[in-house]
Amino acid sequence: MYLKALEIQGFKSFPDKTVLNFGEDITAIVGPNGSGKSNISDAIRWVMGEQSAKGLRGAKMEDVIFGGTEQRKQVGFAQVTLVLDNTERIFPSMEEAEVAVTRRYYRSGESEYYINRQSVRLKDVTELFLDTGLGREGYSIIGQGKIDEILSTRSSERREIFEEAAGISRFRHRKEEAERKLERTEENLVRINDKISELELQVEPLRDQAEKAKKYLVLRDELRVLEISVWLENLDALKISARKLEMDFHAAEKERDEARAALDALYAEGERFGKEMRQKDMEAEQVRAEAGELDAQAKDQSAAVAVLETGIAHNQENIDRAQAELVESDSRAGGLAAQSAQEKDRAEGLSRRLEELNMGLEALLEKARAAAAQAGGQQSEAEALRGREAMAVAAAADARAETAAL
C-alpha cells in the first residue's frame, strides 16, 4: 500500500485546491522553513481522524481553516482528501482499487467524513485504518521528537505502537469496546436490580390498586350502561318534545299566515278608506268652495236687499200718497162714478196682480231656502227676506206704474 495522492483545500496555508501526487518509490518533500511541509503531515493526520487541536499545532479546531491574509479573504471550510492504493486489499472491507478518504470542517463546527464520496461516521474512518499502520495513533506518521517520546513513555503506551505494528490493534479496539459495553451493561443491570427491588416494595400496593382498578372497570362499565339507558330515555323524551314542538310550530305558522292574511286585508281596507277619505276631502273642499261662492253671493244679495228696502220705503210713501189721492178721488165720486168703477176694476186687477206676485215671491223664497240650506242654513231667513223684499219691490213698482197710469 502506498499513498497515491493528497488533495488539500482551505487547510492551514493552502487556501486554493492543491493536489499532491506521489509515485510508488520513496518520495520526499523538501523546502525551506515555513514553506508548509509540516502542514502536509498535519493534513494527513487530520483526514485520518485526528481530534486534538494541540496535536495539529493549534489552539482550537477552527485554526485548521485558512484564516486569510492582507491580500486574501479567509475561507469558510477546510477539506482534505487522502487517496490510497488498495490493489493488494490492504482494506479487506473495500473492493475498490483506490480508497479516497475525505474530511471537511466548517467554521460553524460541523464535520463531514466521506469514504469514496459516501458519507460515513468518524468511527467508520477509525475502523478503516485499524491494523494498517495508519491512523492518528499509528506508527506510519512519526513527527519530530516522536521517537524520543516513544522511548520515554510508559510500557503500556509503547505496547499500543507494537500492537498496531503486529496488526492486533483492531482486536484490542474491539476488546476495549466490548469491555465498555459490558461495563455499561453491568451498570444497567445494577440499575435494573435496583428498580426491581424498588418495584417489589410496590407490588402489594400495586396489587391493591389493581383490584381497585378492576372494580373501577366493572363499575365504569355498569355506569356506562346506566348512562346509555338514561341517554336513551332522554332521547325518547326529546323526540316526543321535538314532535310536539314541530306540531306547535306548524300551528304557529298557520296562525301567522292567517294573521298575515288578516293584516293584508286590513291594509287593503285601510287603503280603501284612505282613498274614500281623500275623495271626501276633495268633495268637502268643493263644498267649501261652493259655500264660499254662495256666501259671496249672499253678501251681494244683502247689499241688494238694503237697496231694495230703501226703494220699498220710498214706494210705500208713494203708495200711501196714492191711496190718499184715491180717497180724495172717491170723495169726488159724484160725476166720476163711471170713472170710479173703472178705477175699481183696475184696482181689482192690481190686487190680483199683487196676489200673483206674492205667489211668485213664495216660490222664490223656497228656492232661496234650498240655496241657503246648501250654503250652511244660517242665511236662509235672510234669503227669504231678500226674496220678499224683491217681490215687494216688484209689486210696488207695478202699483206705482198703475198709479201713474191713473
Helix (H, G, I), strand (E, B) or coil at 98: strand
Look-up: residue for cell 215671491? 361
Q: Other CB atoms closer than 10 Å to residue 106's CB: what's the count?
A: 15
Identify the band that residue 152 occupies on the pLDDT scale cut at 50, 70 and 90.
low
Report pLDDT for 177.
Answer: 80
The set of residues, in sequence order, having a beta carbon less than 8 Å from that of 341 and lying 6+ positions away, is none
Separation between Cα atoms, residue 159 and residue 162, nearest integer Å: 5
CA 233 from centroid of its chain's CA atoms: 41
pLDDT for residue 94 is more than 80: yes
Reduce the DSSP state of residue 235 to 3 states and report it.
helix
Q: What is the mean pLDDT of residues 167-178?
A: 70
Of the candidate ranges 25-39, 270-284, 319-333, the one whose mean pLDDT is the lowest:
319-333
The class (CATH top level) of 3-136 is alpha beta
Please give the model's pTM, rounded to 2 decimal places.
0.41
Are 85 and 98 contacting, i.e. CB atoms less than 8 angstroms apart? yes
Q: What is the DSSP letter of 327?
A: H
pLDDT at 77: 94
> Would you list the domain boundaries of the chain?
3-136, 168-201, 291-333+340-405
- pLDDT > 90: what percent of the chain? 12
pLDDT in tens, 351-406: 676 677 667 666 666 665 665 566 555 455 556 556 655 665 565 566 556 555 55
Burial class (CB in 10 A: 0-12, 13-18, 19+), 11: buried
pLDDT digit string (tens) for 183-233? Answer: 889 889 988 988 888 877 878 888 888 888 889 999 999 999 999 999 898
Chain segment 339-349, per-residue pLDDT in tens: 656 666 765 76
Check residue 27 and report its DSSP letter: -
> What SS3 class is residue 84?
strand
pLDDT tens per residue, range 273-325: 778 878 877 877 887 787 677 777 767 766 765 676 676 667 667 667 766 76
